[in-house]
């Protein structure tokens, strides 16, 4: 099968390319040319925003399947509809963010109505609508959750961060919403890529939406504890009151709220079960960060020290007010 991958050298797409090659597909990637591509891959150097200017080259490749890992705007989704009228499958990589910020404690299925609350998620949902309405059964939407694996950073109170690993390995307290009690369903990027490739030749994927999420629902505390165990250190956490954080932080990271999701539909219809565990995918993430120099001195994020100092002082004062010895 001829497979076209848009953004083929990105964090997610490079996994897709690896698996597609291993499965014997002929692969072309559209990339700006800033990163190397695997041997045997055809390259179309172009900017995603100018995809229409490459219509002739795309038509010459005549892809059987198109996978778009970097579609963020409705106009880009319309490109997929207009440029690939003969592709058997067009896969749009979307996000579970379309469901909303805090989805509660029960795993969310694809039956839940999306309620996006950020501009990013709102644009992604509109991209989904355009592709599904324009391509019908030839379209498939894949919604990954928080992805881990090589090339990804771990997340902190402030979203993806190059400072968290250093802070943990130095034994500094980690500020976490309500002590890290929020639920999450992280996923290995290799598992997401495997689901995407599984949609290409299955009628069960026609016109469907799939959550691409891991097999384990864990707490943010467990997430941090896993990093600490990999580094061989003890974890220290300081609780940040969720109601205060939500009130005063203009754009709080979505990782701080309850966000568990279900992969039952993807497992059943695409006949692929994720293999990444929290420990295994976190090991790959942390080791890659350390080996590639992606870990930064936590002094570069001074908000954490200031916040921890304030929280510990107020914790002690509250203990006294509650009748403790201080």
Q: Residue 11 has what pLDDT?
A: 84
Q: Are 140 and 122 in contact (CB under 8 A)?
A: no
Question: Is this model's pTM higher than 0.85 or not?
Answer: yes
**How many C-beta atoms surround the C-beta of residue 231 within 10 A?**
17
Looking at domain 71-316, its CATH architecture is 3-Layer(aba) Sandwich (3.40)
Any residues with CB less than 8 A from the CB of 265 and at least 6 apart, and which? Answer: 109, 110, 208, 210, 211
Q: Which 8-state DSSP code applies to residue 259?
A: B
| Residues forming a β-bridge with 29 | 5, 43
- Domain-by-domain residue ranges, the chain? 71-316
Q: Taking the mean position of all CA atoms in its chain, how far away is CA 88?
A: 26
CA–CA dist 39, 106 (Å, integer):
44
For residue 181, the surrounding DSSP H or E stretch is: none
**How many C-beta atoms surround the C-beta of residue 32 within 10 A?**
11
Nearest residue to 90 (alpha-carbon basis) of 63, 56, 50: 63
Tokens of 262: 């279900």
Q: Residue 54 has what pLDDT?
A: 94
Q: Residue 325 has what pLDDT?
A: 65
Report, as ranges of residue numbers, the positions in the chain whose pLDDT lies below 50: none
């Amino acid at each position: 099968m001829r497979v076209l991958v848009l953004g083929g050298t990105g964090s997610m797409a490079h996994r897709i390319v690896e698996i597609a090659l291993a499965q014997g597909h002929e692969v072309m990637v559209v990339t700006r040319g800033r990163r190397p591509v695997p041997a045997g891959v055809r390259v179309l150097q172009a900017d995603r925003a100018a995809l229409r200017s490459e219509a002739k080259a795309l038509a010459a490749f005549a892809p059987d399947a198109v996978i778009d890992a970097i579609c963020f705007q409705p106009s880009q989704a319309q490109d997929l509809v207009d440029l690939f009228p003969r592709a058997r499958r067009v896969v749009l990589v979307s996000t579970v963010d379309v469901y909303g910020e805090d989805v509660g404690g029960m795993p969310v299925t694809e039956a839940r109505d999306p309620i996006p609350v950020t501009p990013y998620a709102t644009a992604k949902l509109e991209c989904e609508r355009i592709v599904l309405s324009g391509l019908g059964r030839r379209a498939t939407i894949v919604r990954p959750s928080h992805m881990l694996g090589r090339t990804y950073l771990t997340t902190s109170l402030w979203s993806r961060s190059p400072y968290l690993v250093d802070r943990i390995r130095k034994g500094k307290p980690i500020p976490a919403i309500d002590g890290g009690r929020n639920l999450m369903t992280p996923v290995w990027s290799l598992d997401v890529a495997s689901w995407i490739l599984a949609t290409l030749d299955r009628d069960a994927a026609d016109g469907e939406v799939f959550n691409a999420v891991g097999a384990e629902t864990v707490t943010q505390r467990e997430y941090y504890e896993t990093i600490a165990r990999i580094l061989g250190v003890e974890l220290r956490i300081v609780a940040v009151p969720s109601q205060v954080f939500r009130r005063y932080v203009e754009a709080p990271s979505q990782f701080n709220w309850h966000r568990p999701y279900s992969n039952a539909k993807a497992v059943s219809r695409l006949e692929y079960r994720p293999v990444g565990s929290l420990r295994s995918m976190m090991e790959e993430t942390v080791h890659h960060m350390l080996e590639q120099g992606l870990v930064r001195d936590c002094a570069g994020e001074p908000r954490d020290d200031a916040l921890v100092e304030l929280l510990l002082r107020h914790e002690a004062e509250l203990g006294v007010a509650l009748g403790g010895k201080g």
